[in-house]
Amino acid sequence: MTVNRRREAENLWRWYIDSIRKEEPNAEMLDGILRLSGIKEAGDERIVIRVENDFIRGWIEDRLLDSIKASFRKMAERPDLDVQLVVEPQAPVPADDAEIDEGEPRPKGTPARPRLNPKYVFDHFVVSSSNQFAHAVCLATGKAPGKQYNPLFLYGGVGLGKTHLLQAIGHRVLEKTPEASVVYVSCEEFLNEMIDALSTGKLKRFRKKYRTADVLLIDDIQFIAGKEQTQEEFFNTFNELHNSGRQIVFSSDRPPHEIQRVEKRLISRFESGMVADIAPPDYELRVAILKKQADAARFTVDDGIFAYIARKVVFNIRQLEGALIKLIGYVQVLNKKVTPELVDEVLAGYSQSVPKRLTIDGIIKSAADYYGVTPADLVGKRRQKGIVRPRQVAMALARELTGATLGEIGERFGGKDHSTVLYACEKVNGELRTDPSFKGEVDEIRARIAGA
């Protein structure tokens, strides 16, 4: 049977947009994007999606591309499928739109060494009292890795700039010493690779990769909790690097001693160098970040608008950026004018989630209570039906009630992929529409969450 690749790609794209549209509070914006995008090329190896302009490309790349890839691969059962974006305007381009991308897809096949986001550099990091100390130690570490603060342990809440700082260190080291081996991994990737290596007997290669790093950056180390089998190998890797004066930097959403189910000796290693925290952003920082972002996007609005957004979005810089990106989207994609009403509309999802203080952890707990399982089950990997369904419900509720992104929810649920979360939301919402008794069940959990 010959597969019509083009039709398949078109279906995948439509399915993806549909499924995410149901989840996204800013459906209108996605509709705009959908109207302006389409399949450009569909082959055995890759699918190229045409997008209207650079802004949309950035928007999709930053927030959706990983989940698009994962969903396409899963739906099409083509694990090696690559998805790329190309800018190719269909509508007439405004005359002042000087910086249209030539549409070159990223060079492929270049070794993914190290996968650092080019935006996460020190120059793009805005400093204020809440992050000043963390910034200073990271700067020093980037300048002289392995010297002063080793290991460096950085902690702070979600969306406060940990990943940004971690990668900024990597960038700084490579600027000065391009031949340095800088390895950046999420804890989850690190553990998966380790397990893989252990089970396929390729431990040597794994060890070589990590034990020869000059700078090892491990993001979200809190996910090592409970992975006892791998802590041993990790401990050895740590010691080897540390003893030979290589720099190790960790990030975590909590301080070392609050990471549960981790061997004491590892905790004490985490604490043995410098531990620095990042606090939630103060008002000045929030305004400054908005201004910087708007400048970068060459988007001009009244200062009053920045102040307004900064007062409403308080805890999370990622959300702050999200709010601005959404606003820019409304203006650029939908040709709307910035008015106070529009800002309110854009912020609707955010302003609600803050006063209620619904946390993903709280939702996990309520759902676990209701189903008679443990929170650890819900964030774990076991695939029994009695756990999978409660897990999916909890994910869907987290999505509905907290305004967190798919990625953030995945993170909280033990480092799961965007597409897993998306699939869960899709499934639960589908059943909610057709199954009244299931709806009763979910409403009951909602009530518990609200009362918790």
Q: For binding to Mg ion (CB under 5 A), which residues are involved?
A: 162-163
For residue 392 the two structure tokens come to: 């999916």
Phi first, then psi, for residue 441 (nearest 5°) are -60, -50
- Contact between 246 and ligand ADP by CB under 6 A: the answer reads no
- Contact between 286 and ligand ADP by CB under 6 A: the answer reads no
Residue 318 binding: pick among Mg ion, ligand ADP, none (C-beta 5-8 Å cut-off by kind) = ligand ADP
Nearer to ligand ADP, 48 or 287 (CB): 287
Buried b (16+ CB within 10 A) or exposed e, 183-208: bbbbbbbbbebbeebeeeeeeeebbe
Can you tell me whether residue 203 is helix, strand or coil?
helix
Q: Cα dihedral angle (316, 322, 328, 333), rounded to 10 degrees?
A: -170
Nearer to ligand ADP, 46 or 291 (CB): 291
Contact region with ligand ADP (CB under 6 A), list: 178-186, 317-325, 373-381, 434-442: 317-325
Quick one: which of 125, 149, 153, 306 contacts ligand ADP (CB under 6 A)? 125
DSSP letter assigned to residue 127: P
Query: Ramachandran region of residue 357, left (φ > 0), alpha (ψ -120 to 50) or beta?
Result: left
Name beta bridge partners: 49.
Answer: 39, 85
Tokens 């004018």 sit on residue: 337
Is 280 in contact with 291 (CB distance < 8 Å)? Answer: no
Q: Which residues have C-beta within 8 Å of that of residue 301, sequence separation ≥ 6?
A: 294, 327, 338
Degrees to nearest 5, angle at CA 162 with 23 and 183: 105
**Min. distance of Cβ 163 from Mg ion in angstroms?**
3
Sheet holding 38-42, edge to edge: 38-42, 46-51, 82-87
Nearer to Mg ion, 53 or 251 (CB): 251
- Contact between 63 and ligand ADP by CB under 6 A: the answer reads no
Contact region with ligand ADP (CB under 6 A), list: 125-133, 192-200, 269-277, 415-423: 125-133
**Min. distance of Cβ 128 from ligand ADP in angstroms?**
7
- Contact between 222 and ligand ADP by CB under 6 A: the answer reads no
Name beta bridge partners: 219.
Answer: 186
- Contact between 159 and ligand ADP by CB under 6 A: the answer reads yes
Quick one: which of 50, 63, 69, 162 contacts ligand ADP (CB under 6 A)? 162
Query: Applying CB under 6 A, what is the total number of residues that bind ligand ADP?
Result: 17
Nearer to ligand ADP, 142 or 159 (CB): 159
Quick one: which of 23, 240, 321, 441 contacts ligand ADP (CB under 6 A)? 321
Nearer to ligand ADP, 67 or 392 (CB): 67
Nearer to ligand ADP, 78 or 119 (CB): 119
Q: How far apart are CA 66 and CA 98, in angstroms?
A: 28
